[in-house]
Structure 1
Amino acid sequence: MKINCVIIDDEPFAQELIEGYIQKIPYLNLVASCGNVFEAIEILQNNEIDLLFSDVQMPEINGIDFIRSLKTPPFVIFITAHPNFAIDGFELDAVDYLVKPASFDRFLKSVNKVLKVIKEKPSVKNPVSESLFVKEGHKLQRIRFDEIFYIEGMRDYVKIMIKDRMIVTHMTMKRIEDQLPKAQFIRLQKSYIVRISAIKSINGNMVEIYDFQEKLPIGKQYKDNLFSTFGLTDL
């Protein structure tokens, strides 16, 4: 399996560093290294690209606005010197957000996330794979993954918080976590799982979720993984 990828970065040194990392990973195929988004547009139009490594702050159009403009963007890993854009990046369902200069180990961890998702992706797109069914009362309720804001565990039950209401179902946290795509959800602590792109802010040991007033606590053993996901260091 080969993952076709493109680099978008206006800094030659950053391009060379990422190119060197890509050369070390057998399943990555570098199609092009672009100095701006206009070069990348042409590459995307003429090639099947699976993965973009994109800087954020670039002349004329920044990386986040560029990805937002794409109708069907490939997987995206942002690599930038500006960690304050991390939340914006994950709103676009970016696979990861790395802060320059990213180490090879950190780079490899991000790329392996993409490989895992591609391997697990059905050859024919199946809408069921983008959702899960849970028992609610006497019926099976289908919930799309992108509807879920967060999940709270209550012994043998879970509360699934979607925008319009709360769904309570008889299920353990372990069982529902196994059904969620790892690239989209993260464990905050024993009792909470949150959709990564639903995180609005991180303040100390609390996470604020879009459209909800509640702030969710971050467990000590999960904090490093949360900050690593956003390419951040502890505040």
Structure 2
Amino acid sequence: MPLKAIAIDDEPKALEVVKMHAAKVPFLDLTACFTNAFEAIPYIKKNKIDLIFLDIKMPDISGIEFVNCFTNPPMIIFTTAYSDYAVQGFELDAVDYLLKPFSLARFTKSCNKALENNSLRNGESEKFIFVKTGYEEEKVFLNDILYLEADGNYISFVLKNKKLLSRQSLNEVATILPENDFIRIHRSYIVAFNKIEKISRQEITIAGTALSVGVSYEEKMNEIRQKLKMETGI
């Protein structure tokens, strides 16, 4: 089921950006947008809303005050041009804090966080992302990913039992993968940390496949070695 979402911002142009990005996220259903926060309140009470994209600095009522109007609010992603509200935002258990102007990649990363949170609320423990393959989006569990390999304008998602080819860059995908679980070792490779079988200065082996370590990433190998020793004993 897609996440039912609304957007609240007193600037129509800001809402247009959210609409444009939301249309490209397959698991997101943006059902309504409001320039007046008070008009959103009866809509939220009448409809099941999973997520709100919410501006903080608005006339009459701030985004912080708006959230405090509810005893059990939907998930919140704050969208604002002011970074000094970040601490207040996270104190309200916001899913994320998007600083305007934000890219589609950054927006998608926030949506994936919301999807993970929603899954945990519903008793699903495995984290996942959606990968665009042609005109479709396929759900991929993070634990199934062995490594990612750049292939021209495409990326190969090498999974436990298959490969998926997606038209995007490694930089784009890196923004939605958990930093502690996935490591960039080359301009062409991102690897799953818990799938590493062997490591040397110049190669990392995963599922019997040796992947080259880029020259500019060799120093980072020391960090990876230390982490492997602590967590896996390799």
The two structures have a TM-score, normalised by structure 1, of 0.52
2:47 aligned partner? 47
Give yes or no for the alignment of 1:25 onto 2:25. Answer: yes
Instruction: Give the 3-state SS of the residue equivalent to 1:33 in structure 2.
Output: strand
1:113 aligned partner? 113
Instruction: Give the 3-state SS of the residue equivalent to 1:31 in structure 2.
Output: strand
What does the per-residue CA deviation read over 1:15-56, in whole Å, with 9 as the maximum and x for residues that have no partner?
000000110011111111000211110110110000000000
Instruction: Give the 3-state SS of the residue equivalent to 1:69 in structure 2.
Output: coil
1:57 aligned partner? 57
CA displacement at 1:86 relative to structure 2:
0.3
Runs of at least 4 residues off by over 3 Å: none
CA displacement at 1:119 relative to structure 2:
1.9
* 2:84 partner letter: N
Instruction: Give the 3-state SS of the residue equivalent to 2:68 in structure 1.
Output: helix
1:100 aligned partner? 100
Aligned length in residues: 128
CA displacement at 1:121 relative to structure 2:
2.7
What does the per-residue CA deviation read over 1:70-118, in whole Å, with 9 as the maximum and x for residues that have no partner?
1101100000000000000001000111110111111110110111122
2:137 aligned partner? none
CA distance in 2, matches of 1:46, 1:19: 22
Structure 1: where are the runs of 5+ without partners? 130-185, 188-220, 222-235
* 2:78 partner letter: F
Paired residues for 1:66-77 under 5 Å: 66-77=66-77
The two structures have a TM-score, normalised by structure 2, of 0.52
CA distance in 1, matches of 2:69, 2:121: 24
CA distance in 1, matches of 2:66, 2:54: 10
Instruction: Give the 3-state SS of the residue equivalent to 1:98 in structure 2.
Output: strand
Relative contact order higher in (CA < 8 Å, ≥ 6 apart): 1
Q: CA RMSD for the aligned pairs?
A: 2.1
CA displacement at 1:120 relative to structure 2:
2.8
* 1:107 partner letter: F
CA distance in 2, matches of 1:22, 1:122: 22
Instruction: Give the 3-state SS of the residue equivalent to 1:38 in structure 2.
Output: helix
What does the per-residue CA deviation read over 1:162-219, in whole Å, with 9 as the maximum and x for residues that have no partner?
xxxxxxxxxxxxxxxxxxxxxxxx99xxxxxxxxxxxxxxxxxxxxxxxxxxxxxxxx
What does the per-residue CA deviation read over 1:121-178, in whole Å, with 9 as the maximum and x for residues that have no partner?
3459xxxx9xxxxxxxxxxxxxxxxxxxxxxxxxxxxxxxxxxxxxxxxxxxxxxxxx
CA distance in 1, matches of 2:54, 2:32: 12
2:8 aligned partner? 8
